[in-house]
Amino acid sequence: MAQLEVTQVRSAIGTKPKQRGTLRALGLGRIGKSNVLADTPDIRGQINKVPHLVSVRELD
């Protein structure tokens, strides 16, 4: 299964509580923190909720 490296690139200050919760669910909490996750529809949906706060890189 493919993997995604998700990195937080912008602050969650001033965002809605649901967006902050989504960042927490992705395993992020501060700028520069990264997490490697499985490429599933659930994870893709979470990333689509906060595209302005994260960057995504596909791993082989």
pTM for the predicted model, two decimal places: 0.92
Confidence of residue 5 (pLDDT cuts 50, 70, 90): very high
The Cα-based distances of 33 to 1, 15 in angstroms read 23, 18
Residue 55 has a pLDDT of: 98
- CA nearest to 50, candidates 3, 6, 1, 5: 6
Identify the CATH assignment for 3-59 out of 3.30.360.10, 3.40.50.1820, 3.30.1390.20, 3.30.1340.30: 3.30.1390.20
Which residues are 59's β-sheet partners? 3
Structure tokens, 33: 């923190």
Reported as a single tens digit per residue, the pLDDT across 30-54 is 999 999 999 999 999 999 999 999 9
Nearest-angstrom CA–CA distance, 57 and 18:
23
SS (H, E, C) 13-40: CCCCHHHHHHHHHCCCCCCCCEEEEECC
Residue 60 has a pLDDT of: 82
Confidence of residue 26 (pLDDT cuts 50, 70, 90): very high
- Is 1 a residue whose pLDDT tops 90? no
